[in-house]
């Protein structure tokens, strides 16, 4: 009897293995476990089995019944998942994968990085500061007198009792407070001014600040560093010149011009026939600012400069409207 049961299990296993569709699974289930299936028949006839064998035969029949039911369920699951896969319209596991689209750097960030890389190669470290500043860091510590017109709400955005920084120069103060000279830093960042938007002005723009403090630093060092920077960025043929200017935090102060990159200094519409275009503000850090940051201005001197990233990008790419950088037109952005 036990032998007969084992044979039933063997046969059942084999036919389950061979089954290729859900229909044959059902047929096998009926054949072995159905009302008049082979196993059911044996279980039904248990009362004819001798009393001493009955418990063992009963036990084995039940085990075999469960085993077959389990194998059938397993096979049904396997077949189901195969059916589901092939049922997804257009499913083709042999197709090659699709490449995901990788984002690009914004042209302003490309230019900002290029500027930063040149100064990093000259040994400058990179510093950053908060966009939302206090009056102290944006103005007072930089030697703006309390009644200076730059504080006017017509020029500066106020958020509660703070200001959106109008330039990257507050990063000078924050770093100089923390460090002991000598040091040299560049500080890129976004700045904000209450301006009407036109082709050359925007209320949000970007600057890269630079500052260096050491013993015996003079104006000639500033000229040298900026001249190297311009030649690396725009090309060796580009000339620089410095004109007297004014900033509360530098003394003396200067405006640096470069020979027009469009007409090579010949005179054109962009440079208003002068052959020169304004590039950035700069100067020797005012001793008052050094003192405000706890630096001994008898021992240390330094220079600082600040350039507009948008302006430099306009010259680099020959674009005549700053607003293009902020319209997020994918056709424009894909050009870079
Ligand atoms: N902060 C000045 C501006 O925004 C630029 C500048 C920086 C000038 C450092 C001198 C020294 O115009």
Per-residue pLDDT tens for 164-189?
Answer: 999 999 999 999 999 999 999 999 99
pLDDT in tens, 254-310: 999 999 999 999 999 989 999 999 999 999 999 999 999 999 999 999 999 999 999
Of 25, 27, 8, which Cα lies nearest the Cα of 71?
Answer: 25
Q: Ligand 1 in contact with 250 (CB < 6 A)?
A: yes
The domain limits of the chain are 2-86, 107-333
Joined tokens for residue 174? 């924050």
Helix, strand, or coil here: 179? coil
Q: Are 171 and 128 in contact (CB under 8 A)?
A: yes
Q: Ligand 1 in contact with 138 (CB < 6 A)?
A: no
Q: Are 302 and 249 in contact (CB under 8 A)?
A: no
Q: Ligand 1 in contact with 139 (CB < 6 A)?
A: no
Instruction: List beta partners, residue 132.
Output: 164
Among the atoms of ligand 1, which is closest to the Cα of residue 281? 8
Indicate the CATH number for domain 107-333: 3.30.930.10
Contacts 24+ apart (CB under 8 A), 324-332: 325/106, 325/107, 325/108, 325/202, 326/202, 326/204
pLDDT in tens, 186-198: 999 999 999 999 9
Mean pLDDT over 87-95 rounds to 79
Q: Ligand 1 in contact with 281 (CB < 6 A)?
A: yes
Over the range 59-95, which residues count as b (16 or more CB within 10 Å of their CB) and which as e? ebbeebbeebeebbeebeeebeeeeeeeeeeeeeeee
| Pairing relationship of beta strands 183-192 and 125-126 according to DSSP bridges | parallel
Helix, strand, or coil here: 37? coil
| Structure confidence at residue 215 as a pLDDT band (50, 70, 90) | very high
- For atom 7 of ligand 1, the residue with the nearest CA is 306
- Pocket test residue of 138, 167, 175 for ligand 1, highest count of atoms within 8 A of CB: 167
- For atom 2 of ligand 1, the residue with the nearest CA is 306
Q: Find the 282 Cα to ligand 1 centroid distance in Å.
A: 6
| Structure confidence at residue 85 as a pLDDT band (50, 70, 90) | low
Report the mean per-residue pLDDT for the chain. Answer: 92
> Rounded to whole angstroms, what are the CA distances from 82 to 14, 21, 247, 293?
20, 10, 76, 73
- For atom 10 of ligand 1, the residue with the nearest CA is 282
- pLDDT above 90 covers a percentage of the chain that reads 64
Q: Are 199 and 232 in contact (CB under 8 A)?
A: no
Q: Ligand 1 in contact with 308 (CB < 6 A)?
A: no
| Structure confidence at residue 57 as a pLDDT band (50, 70, 90) | confident
133 or 15, which is more confident: 133
Mean pLDDT over 201-219 rounds to 97
> Which pLDDT value is given to residue 3?
84
| Structure confidence at residue 12 as a pLDDT band (50, 70, 90) | confident
Q: Find the 281 Cα to ligand 1 centroid distance in Å.
A: 5
Task: Say whether pLDDT at 81 is over 70.
Answer: yes
The torsion region of residue 296 among left (phi > 0), alpha (psi -120 to 50) and beta comes to beta
Q: Find the 231 Cα to ligand 1 centroid distance in Å.
A: 21
293 or 6, which is more confident: 293
Among the atoms of ligand 1, which is closest to the Cα of residue 207? 4
Of 328, 260, 331, 278, which Cα lies nearest the Cα of 108?
Answer: 328
């Amino acid at each position: 009897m036990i032998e007969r049961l084992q044979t039933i299990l063997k046969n059942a296993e084999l036919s389950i293995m061979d089954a290729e569709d859900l229909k044959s699974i059902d047929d096998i289930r009926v054949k072995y476990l159905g009302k008049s299936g082979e196993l059911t028949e044996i279980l039904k006839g248990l009362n004819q089995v001798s009393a001493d064998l009955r418990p063992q035969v009963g036990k084995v029949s039940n085990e075999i019944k469960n085993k077959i039911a389990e194998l059938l369920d397993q096979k049904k699951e396997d077949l189901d998942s195969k059916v589901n896969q092939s049922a997804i319209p257009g499913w083709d596991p042999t197709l090659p994968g699709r490449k995901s689209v990788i984002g690009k750097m914004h042209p302003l960030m490309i230019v900002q990085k290029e500027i930063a890389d040149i100064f990093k190669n000259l040994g400058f470290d990179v510093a950053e500061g908060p966009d939302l500043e206090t009056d102290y860091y944006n103005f007072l510590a930089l030697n703006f007198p309390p009644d200076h017109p730059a504080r006017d709400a017509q020029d500066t955005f106020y958020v509660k009792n703070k200001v959106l920084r109008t330039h990257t120069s507050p990063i000078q103060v924050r770093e100089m407070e923390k460090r002991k000279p000598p040091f040299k830093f560049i500080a890129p960042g976004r700045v904000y001014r209450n301006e009407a938007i036109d082709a050359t002005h925007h209320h949000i723009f970007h600057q890269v600040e630079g500052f260096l403090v050491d013993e015996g630093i003079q104006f000639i060092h500033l000229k040298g560093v900026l001249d190297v920077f311009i030649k690396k960025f725009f090309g060796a043929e580009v000339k620089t010149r410095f004109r007297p200017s004014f900033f509360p935090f530098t003394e003396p102060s200067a405006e640096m011009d470069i020979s027009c990159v469009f007409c090579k200094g010949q005179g054109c519409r962009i440079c208003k026939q002068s052959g020169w275009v304004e590039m950035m503000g700069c100067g020797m850090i005012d001793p008052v600012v050094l003192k405000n940051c706890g630096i001994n201005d008898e021992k240390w001197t330094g220079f600082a400069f600040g350039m507009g990233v948008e302006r430099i990008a306009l010259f680099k790419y020959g674009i005549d409207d700053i607003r293009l950088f902020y319209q997020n037109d994918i056709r424009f952005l894909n050009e870079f």
